Amino acid sequence: MSVSLIIITHYDIGQQMVKMVNETLGQSVLSISTMSVYPEQSMEQLIGRVVLKTQEVDQGDGVIIITDLYGATPGNIACRLMDIPTIKVITGLNLPMLFKAQNYADLPINELAEKILKGGREGILLCNQDICQTN
């Protein structure tokens, strides 16, 4: 099973996050591409680029697009493609999502998307002594 990921973010946030995760793990099991969105770019051009990118990276097992912010341009572009059966769209990118994705790289698309969502949620904590226990 080889699902591909496309990370769409404002500026190069996604590139930096993918770099951090890959350097930490020493390798990337998943195929991860990034796309940076800048204010002056047109929506239609961006959608065209994402469509091409999904066709380019899909290895036959589908593509998960993760974007940084729902309702913003990266999220809006991705949501245009969400009805395509081989594409899943997740918003609210964080590092735990990317680690989780690499950890479960061999899962089929629906299960991998669930793992990514779960990992992202579990990585958000209101830190206090009870849960952080650093001593």
Partner 1 sequence: MINETLPVINKLGLHARSAAKLVTTAQPFKCDITLERKGREVNAKSIMGVMMLAATCGSEVNIALNGDDEVAAFQAIKQLFANRFDEES
Interface contacts to partner 1, rule CB under 8 A: 24-26, 96, 99-100, 102-103, 119, 122-123, 132-135
Q: How far is the CB of 109 from partner 1 (least distance, A)?
A: 20
Write down the residue that tokens 């299960």 correspond to. Answer: 111
Closer Cβ to partner 1, 56 or 106, answer by number: 106
Q: How far is the CB of 45 from partner 1 (least distance, A)?
A: 36
Decide whether 92 or 96 has the Cβ nearer to partner 1. Answer: 96
Determine the residue type at 20.
M
- The residue (of 36 and 103) whose beta carbon lies closer to partner 1 is 103
Round to whole Å and give the CA distance between 76 and 44: 11
Smallest gap, in angstroms, from Cβ of residue 55 to partner 1? 31
Rounded Cα gap, residues 35 and 7, in angstroms: 6
Helix (H) or strand (E) holding 34: strand 31-37
Of 33, 7, 20, 16, the closest CA to residue 99 belongs to 20
